[in-house]
Amino acid sequence: MRVIARLVANLRQCRSGVAVTETALIMPFFLMTGLWGVELANYALTTMKIGQIAVQVADDASRIGDISTLENRKIYEGDIDDLLHGATLQGGDRLALYDHGRVIVSSLEVNAKGQQYIHWQRCMGTLHVGPTYGKEGDVLASGMGPKGREVMAGAGDAVIFVEISYDYPALISDSFIGRTTIRTISSFTVRSSRDLTQVYQANAAKPDLVYGCTAFTNAFR
């Protein structure tokens, strides 16, 4: 009994396992904090990438078209195909832009009555969201965009307006920041004199696909 009592007394006075015990207790907190930081950093990076893609698509769309010194520049459905394809290439396989999101490209112009309207609109992506600021053919009294920050096209000119919605896929777990949709917009005035009558087909016998906004697909998968 004396031996057992001595062992119990020595065990009670022993402090050699305190550091290990403290580490075991606090490690889950540090681990969760670290994982949350990684998820938040990835979310911020993804948001930046989506914003950059929106700017790039709007900028490219303002420049596309057949160059001619004799007539206004025509744009073709094939040009828009290249434009949308370039967006997913810029995002890369990890982003999978059209599998998790949707890109909406609109051409804001002035009609014969001097009203702002959306002449044409093209969409790509599987995310089931519609245009936020107007659909093809809509007349817009105050221009296009968030209230108080609308953009307007000049007579005989056009403004390319791009909306991107993207369901953020968690890198680690949805528990850290929840399920969220990244939304961003961008707009650029068309750079050169453009033929605004229509979007042309390069080959009427073998027309390119028209990426309207009624289908929710990824044509580049």
- The pLDDT averaged over each successive group of 10 residues in the chain (221 residues) is 68 63 71 88 96 97 78 91 95 94 98 96 97 96 94 95 97 88 97 91 92 94 85
In a domain, 196, yes or no: no
- Alpha-carbon distances, residue 101 vs 80, 86, 158, 160, 214 (angstroms): 18, 15, 26, 19, 15
In a domain, 118, yes or no: yes
In a domain, 3, yes or no: no
In a domain, 138, yes or no: yes
Q: What is the pTM of this model?
A: 0.86
- Compute the Cα dihedral for 135, 50, 159, 220 and give only its sign: negative
Question: What is the pLDDT, as a whole number, of residue 14?
Answer: 65
Domain count, the chain: 1
- The answer to whether the beta carbons of residues 217 and 126 sit under 8 Å apart is yes
In a domain, 205, yes or no: no
In a domain, 169, yes or no: yes
Question: What is the pLDDT, as a whole number, of residue 177?
Answer: 87
In a domain, 51, yes or no: yes
Domain membership of residue 131 as a residue range: 27-189
Question: What is the pLDDT, as a whole number, of residue 32?
Answer: 83
Question: What is the pLDDT, as a whole number, of residue 35?
Answer: 87
Max Cα–Cα distance, the chain, nearest Å: 110
In a domain, 158, yes or no: yes
